[in-house]
Amino acid sequence: MTQTVDVQAAANAFLARTEEHLVSYLEACVHCGMCADACHFHEASGDPRHTPAYKLFPMAKAYRSQKFPYNLLAPKITEKDLKEWEELLFDTCTMCGRCTTVCPMGIDIASIVGQARQAFVAAGLGPDDLMQAAQNSKDHGSALNVTPERFSDRLEWLEDENEIPIPVDKEKADILLTISSIETMKYPDSIVAMAKILNHAGVSWTTSTKGYEATNFGYLAGRGDIAKIMVNRIVEAAEACGAKTVVIPECGHAYGVLRWGAANMIGRALPFEVLHISEFMAKLKREGKLKLTPVKESITYHDPCQISRRGGATEEARYLLDGFAEDFREMTPTGNLNWCCGGGGGVQAIGRTADLRHKVFKIKIDQVEKTGASTLVSSCSNCRLTMDESKEALHWGGGLGSLVELVADHLIEDEAPVEAAE
Amino acid sequence: MTLLDFARGIGMEIALSIFALGVLWRLFSLLLLPWSKERSVKRADAPSSLVAGTQGFFRHMWPAQTSASMFVTINGYVFHIGLAIVVFGFAQHILFIKGLFGLTWPGIPSTFINIVAVITLASLVAALVRRISNPVTRLLSGFNDYFSWTVTALPVLTGLLAVGHYIEPYETILALHILSVELLLIWFPFGKLMHAFLVFLTRSETGIFYSRRGVDI
Ligand code: SF4
Ligand code: SF4
């Protein structure tokens, strides 16, 4: 690697973010190692370096090396440290929050990792492909280069193919639907499914070429500047059409960033409510607006970390599946304690992590096989992509599906009060 | 002035002062850092920060998932509770604390205290053995961890030696016992032992963080 590493910039960038809770977290760790067993990367690799607490070492070092009286003795952070930890902070942390659930000190490692990545990027580090995904988001509108033109072309094509209205840039709408480029490029059926459900509900909705990309690679890549640009695009799009609700598609981190992080990034409360598509569907069900035929096949549900453990929408998927999926089987552990897919936090976009991700997927295979369910359903296209890739690499025969597609496939269309297309 | 006089008198005063000022300094230098301002809209049914913080504190008393770390959890409780019983239950300690601060409370029979002290020491040794033998904790541990362990174990060891009159003259081992406590007090604010205070911050802040999101972990 011929990167120049600006060690001081990393230290400065991290220290600029030393808010009270981050430093308390760093200082309180008693090095008990309990978090190791909770982290899927450590579980899969057995490598002690994958212990969550260990991933924070350079930040603790950066803090101590400028804090009296530790600075008198504490070693300074070095280029070697940063290079070693680049891999640990980017490749081996999905910011899933699972380690927090076992930590006797209640340290939230994922919070620090998010901040630490920004420091590493300031130093000129970070995996090339992840950095490129963030740059693409800024320059072209999305990580996978889905430009506004490509986006509207694609939706138009889906609209024609499926004979279903998918509004783009409607002047006024109550709901703005955002989409993940993973769906646009790899799982377009999810887009069609969301459109079907929104039309079925008879709500006024649109997508927007001003702000369509839900997945915020700026955040995942430690590019705070790009993260903010991505959030602002959605905010402006929602304000332009007067949307009171922004619906996040099946993407965990998109939800985490917009629902819980965005207001802090732009320094003001969001002018709309943010709902993940699973929350939106549960809401429709509660309001009696979702008429479904039951699912007969046996299914189990993978909790995307940012929707469940770090998002708080754990029960919404269950509520939706209750009575709908006739043979629903919970895996163990499940809900807030479910294992991560191994591809969140941008890890999916880092090519060199593939082998490690496949190892992590074995944990999921084991969980699913114990339920005996024929299909594993998730509500995150990033989880789905991660699992699809590993499924292929490991030649696993189990079925993988999406919650929103499952619902859309079982809609009773006749009774639907479909809104007239424009 | 004998070593014992020094340990009981000026030595203890210095150690307690460093302890108190050090703890205050550590806490204030943390609390005076900028606090993140949370602008996201919390869940409608999220409890107040006070309730969420308290819940967070209690929730992390036990890991949410039982795993290989059960030994660490149980052993951790054994030496923490053991230390509390020995420090605050032993009649001589209560007398000493009364001399310093004027506070007093009933003691626990010394036979029981002796048993607890032996268990505590054994538990501390087990924690150290685990720290060294487990690849994860071995990788995580450094001077701070080992020194913090040492200054915690030494008073228990010297206390047991003093009570059992294993070393003569008694005054010398008693002085060493008191000096070991002073070493602990002086090290406390600057090393890992400070977790005894920080735990209130970290657990409750995590409790607030997750509960406003509607997450029960
Ligand atoms: S479980 Fe918590 S206190 Fe223990 S090593 Fe991990 S982060 Fe540190
Ligand atoms: S947040 Fe998740 S991936 Fe990151 S260290 Fe913790 S358990 Fe591992």
Domain limits of chain A? 7-126, 129-283, 285-409
Judged by CB atoms closer than 8 Å, whether chains meet at B73 and A101 is answered as no
The interface residues of chain B toward chain A in range 49-68, judged by CB-CB distance below 8 A, are 56-57, 59-61, 63-65, 67-68
In the reported structure, the alpha carbon of residue A95 is separated from the centroid of ligand 2 by a whole-number distance in angstroms of 5
Q: How far does chain B reach from its first CA to its final CA, in angstroms? A: 56
The closest ligand to the CA of A107 turns out to be 1
In the reported structure, the alpha carbon of residue A104 is separated from the centroid of ligand 1 by a whole-number distance in angstroms of 7
Whose C-alpha lies nearest to ligand 2, atom 2? Answer: A96
Q: How confident is the model at residue B66 (pLDDT cuts 50, 70, 90)?
A: low
Burial A83-115 (b: 16+ CB within 10 A, else e): eebbbbbbbbbbbbbbbbbbbbbbbbbbbbbbb
Between residues B205 and A418, the one the model is more confident about: B205
**How do strand A399-402 and strand A375-378 relate by DSSP bridges?**
parallel
**Residue A187's closest CA among A403, A411, A356, A350?**
A403
- At A416 the pLDDT is 46
- At A419 the pLDDT is 45
Q: Say if ligand 1 is within 6 A of residue A33 CB.
A: yes
Judged by CB atoms closer than 8 Å, whether chains meet at A31 and B145 is answered as yes
The closest ligand to the CA of A113 turns out to be 2
**Residue A38's closest CA among A114, A104, A108, A101?**
A101
Phi, psi at B177, each rounded to 5°: -60, -50
- At A277 the pLDDT is 98
Whose C-alpha lies nearest to ligand 1, atom 8? Answer: A29
pLDDT in tens, chain A (422 residues): 446 788 888 888 888 878 889 999 999 999 999 999 999 999 999 999 999 999 999 999 998 888 878 888 888 889 999 999 999 999 999 999 999 999 999 999 999 999 999 999 999 999 999 999 999 999 999 999 999 999 999 999 999 999 999 999 999 999 999 999 999 999 999 999 999 999 999 999 999 999 999 999 999 999 999 999 999 999 999 999 999 999 999 999 999 999 999 999 999 999 999 999 999 999 999 999 999 999 999 999 999 999 999 999 999 999 999 999 999 999 999 999 999 999 999 999 999 999 999 999 999 999 999 999 999 999 999 999 999 999 999 999 999 999 999 999 999 976 444 443 33
Cα–Cα distance for residue pair B109/B91, rounded to 1 Å: 8
Q: Where are the alpha helices (DSSP H) in B64-189?
A: 70-89, 91-101, 110-133, 135-140, 143-163, 170-187
Task: Kindly list the protein residues whose Cβ atom lies closer than 6 A to any atom of ligand 2.
Answer: A 38-39, 41, 52, 55, 93-99, 109-110, 113, 340
Tokens of A109: 């490692």
Tell me whether B89 touches chain A (CB under 8 Å).
no
Whose C-alpha lies nearest to ligand 1, atom 2? Answer: A103
- The average confidence (pLDDT) of chain B is 96
Q: Which CATH architecture has domain A285-409?
A: 3-Layer(aba) Sandwich (3.40)
In the reported structure, the alpha carbon of residue A31 is separated from the centroid of ligand 1 by a whole-number distance in angstroms of 5
Whose C-alpha lies nearest to ligand 2, atom 7? Answer: A39
3-state secondary structure of A213: strand
Tokens of B139: 């990788």
In the reported structure, the alpha carbon of residue A87 is separated from the centroid of ligand 1 by a whole-number distance in angstroms of 20
| Burial environment of residue B101 by CB neighbours within 10 A (0 to 12, 13 to 18, 19 or more) | exposed
Cα–Cα distance for residue pair A125/A237, rounded to 1 Å: 32
In the beta sheet, which residues pair with residue A207? Answer: A168
Domain limits of chain B? 3-25+47-212
Indicate left, alpha or beta for B214 from its phi (over 0: left) and psi (-120 to 50: alpha).
left
The interface residues of chain A toward chain B in range 325-344, judged by CB-CB distance below 8 A, are 333, 336-337
3-state secondary structure of A328: strand
Cα–Cα distance for residue pair A222/B146, rounded to 1 Å: 34
**Residue B43's closest CA among A51, A334, A276?**
A276
Judged by CB atoms closer than 8 Å, whether chains meet at A33 and B213 is answered as no
Judged by CB atoms closer than 8 Å, whether chains meet at B36 and A313 is answered as no
Tokens of A37: 């067993």
The closest ligand to the CA of A342 turns out to be 2
Residues of B in Cβ contact (< 8 Å) with A34: 63, 69, 72-73
Site to probe by mutation for ligand 1, drawn from A21, A25, A35, A113 as the one with most ligand atoms within 8 Å of Cβ, is A35
Q: How many CB atoms lie within 10 A of CB A318?
A: 19
Mean pLDDT of B21-31: 95
ipTM above 0.90, yes or no: yes
Q: Which CATH class is domain B3-25+47-212?
A: mainly alpha
- Under 8 Å between Cβ of B209 and A111: yes
Fold entry, domain A129-283: Glutathione S-transferase Yfyf (Class Pi); Chain A, domain 2 (1.20.1050)
Distance from CA of B165 to the nearest CA of A (A): 34
Give the chain A residue nearest B32 (alpha carbons).
A20
Q: Does domain A7-126 have CATH number 1.10.1660?
A: no
Q: Say if ligand 1 is within 6 A of residue A60 CB.
A: no
In the reported structure, the alpha carbon of residue B123 is separated from the centroid of ligand 1 by a whole-number distance in angstroms of 19
